[in-house]
Structure 1
Amino acid sequence: MKIQPVIMSGGSGTRLWPLSRRSHPKQFLNLVSDHSLFQDTVLRLSGDADLFSSPLIIAGKDHAALVEKQLAQIGVKAADIILEPCPRNTAAVAAVAAAWTASENPDALALLAPADHHIEDTASFHSAIKDGAIAASNGRIVTFGIKPTHPHTGYGYIQSGDDYCKNVFEVAAFKEKPDRETAETYIAKGGFYWNAGLFLFHADAMLTELDHHAGEISKAAKQSLEKCGTIGTAKILDNTIFSQCPSDSVDYAIMEKTDKAAIIAPVDIGWSDIGSWSEANSEDGDHVVADCQNLTIRSDGPMISAVGVEDLIIVATGDAVLVARKDSAQDVRKIVDELKRRGREDLL
């Protein structure tokens, strides 16, 4: 059974400010390779014509030109590009993806994948997809449990339950982002995995569960797709309908309620959500340092120089500079919140 990749590209990446902006969010930046995160994701899910159909891209309406430009740069033609007139979280994206797949590629399994994640081992990722396809073909909504490398407090966790089939388990519980002590307990106990926000399912199974557990989201998403307009070669969901869609995640709206949830685990693929500057490549741009240790330095404008400092993030653009301790990398969004409070739209 072929896989229909669905690339979710609606994120804003506020913790990667000042490089990540509304007009050019993190998924379109080259943070870990010579390609953007978006391009790496598309290529990762386009390389095997026997396994993957052409990708469906779901993105924000302001990024249509970016999506088309970056697809052209890597020589990939999307099956379709669907634009959201406003953000409504991942459950609405899942509903649109399922409705589109049911209509355009009904024999395929849909793979919902964030555009802004990094995966080092593509071959192992493809192998995990094939393992999960067995359960998804039987009506399960399958999530991917990443093998934890340390007690990370910035990720949600999934606890595996009874065996279902090869490398796939029932889901025992979803856990919120833990404190350090709780995360250490999860690692020591075993059977707990990072929640990667990847989902594999047959369109009919997802639509059935959405209708049952999140009827308003399902209805609004399907109707907005049926009445969509166009921007160039892309479709745009009907704004009047889609703007009324409740905002919720796949995890809360579906996965924590359904009895169809399953988990592939452990998935060991070198995964990261690149959720902060501490997870991006440590050096880029023009800089000179002396007697420094453990710095992340990025610049797309001025030269950065540093002397005698350690454990810092220093990021410069043409109009802003960020300096933060590495242990405060997750708090960069506080700067964005303050800029919003001050009305500094020019820096957002």
Structure 2
Amino acid sequence: MKIQPVIMSGGSGTRLWPLSRKARPKQFLNLVSDRSLFQETVLRLHDDGGNFAPPLVICGRGHAELVANQLEAIGVKAADIILEPFPRNTAAVAAVAAAWVCENNEDALALIAPADHHVEDAAGFRSVALNGASAAENGSIVTFGIKPTYAHTGYGYIQSAEEISGGVYRVASFREKPDAKTAGDYLAKGGYYWNAGIFLYHPKAMLDAFAAHAPDIAKGAEQALAASKNENGARLLDETLFSETPSDSIDYAIMEKTDKAAVVAPVDVGWTDIGSWSEATTDPESAGHMAVDSTNVTLRSDGPVIGAIGVDNLIIVATGDAVLVARKDKAQEVRAIVDELKRRGREDLL
């Protein structure tokens, strides 16, 4: 059974401001290696054994050229590039992907993954994905439960139930981002895993789930795909039909309602959701940044050299037109700066 990778690349990455901007959001930045997160994701879902098909990329309308250039730089040709005229959350993306795979690669399983995650063990992740394939072939909608390393309050959790097959379990429940005590309880009890937001499914099984639980999303997504037009070498979803498609997440629209949810767990491949500057690394030494008598400091810049003296627990990010200084425990709140810039009408900084 071949797996059809589907790369979700529509995120805006506001918590990675000021490097992450509308024209070049975080998934296209080199935040943890010499490749962008998008390029890392594409290469992670590729192997020489023929198990993975060329990727389908679903991204924002303004990023077609950026996607094409980054794919060319790593020697990968996409099966297709689908452009969203505007965001409609992950459920619509999953429905578009299911419809596309049914039309173009109907015998394959769809593996839908965000473009902005980092995985240290790419081969290990491919092995995990293949381990979930049998359950997906049999109609399960499979997600992946990351082995928690500490009581993280910024991730949702998946609770596993009885085992379906080796390392694959029925999902007992999905849990929202917990407070610190609840997250600690999850780790103490065991059987709870970080929700990575990655899904493996047969396209017909997903469309059946949409028909049962979110028919309006499936209808809008399928019709928008059928009426898509060529734009910059990609397929632009029909604007009117896509605008009428309800916005919801896969978790809320499908996974929390279906009795077909399964989870591969525990997944231990060095996974990180690069959701804020606290997960990004400092620029390489060649950037010339200097931190004197300082600890636990992240320094990032797309040009100016940063000097820091006698500070700790700080994030300092510089661009040609903006500088961010934040405590690391406030990294999740960078979005508030973006919201304030919007309020002030500073589109030049977004």
TM-score, normalised via structure 2 length:
0.98
Distance 1:168 1:333 in 2: 36
Distance 1:143 1:160 in 2: 11
Distance 2:282 2:162 in 1: 40
Distance 1:77 1:105 in 2: 16
Paired position in structure 2 for 1:184: 184
**Is the Cα–Cα contact under 8 Å of residues 292 and 307 in structure 1 kept in the other structure?**
yes
Distance 1:134 1:203 in 2: 14
Paired position in structure 2 for 1:327: 329
Q: Label 1:166 to 1:77 Cα distance change in 2 as closer, same or farther (>3 A).
A: same
Q: Counterpart amino acid of 2:297? A: L
Paired position in structure 2 for 1:311: 313
User: For structure 2, which runs of at least 5 residues remain unmatched after alignment?
Assistant: none
Partner-residue secondary structure (3-state), 1:106: coil
Cα deviation per residue 1:292-322 (whole Å; 9 max; x = unaligned)?
1110000112121111110100000000000
1:175 CA drift (Å): 0.3
Q: Counterpart amino acid of 1:95? A: A
Note the 1:1-348 alignment, pairs <5 A: 1-284=1-284, 285-348=287-350
Distance 1:256 1:40 in 2: 29
Distance 2:12 2:265 in 1: 29
1:282 CA drift (Å): 2.4
1:283 CA drift (Å): 3.1
Q: Counterpart amino acid of 1:15? A: R
How many residue pairs get aligned? The number is 348
Distance 2:288 2:345 in 1: 31
**Is the Cα–Cα contact under 8 Å of residues 44 and 123 in structure 2 kept in the other structure?**
no
Distance 2:50 2:67 in 1: 25
Cα deviation per residue 1:59-118 (whole Å; 9 max; x = unaligned)?
000000100000010010000000000100000000000000001000000000101100
Partner-residue secondary structure (3-state), 2:132: helix
Distance 2:146 2:217 in 1: 28
Identity of aligned residues (%): 68
More deviation in 198-207 or 122-131?
122-131
1:232 CA drift (Å): 2.4
**Is the Cα–Cα contact under 8 Å of residues 65 and 232 in structure 2 kept in the other structure?**
no
Partner-residue secondary structure (3-state), 1:283: coil
Q: Counterpart amino acid of 1:114? A: P
1:49 CA drift (Å): 4.2
**Is the Cα–Cα contact under 8 Å of residues 217 and 246 in structure 1 kept in the other structure?**
yes
Distance 2:342 2:232 in 1: 31
TM-score, normalised via structure 1 length:
0.99
Across the aligned residues of Structure 1 and Structure 2, the Cα RMSD in angstroms comes to 0.8
1:48 CA drift (Å): 3.1
Q: Counterpart amino acid of 2:64? A: A
Distance 1:281 1:51 in 2: 32
Partner-residue secondary structure (3-state), 1:96: helix
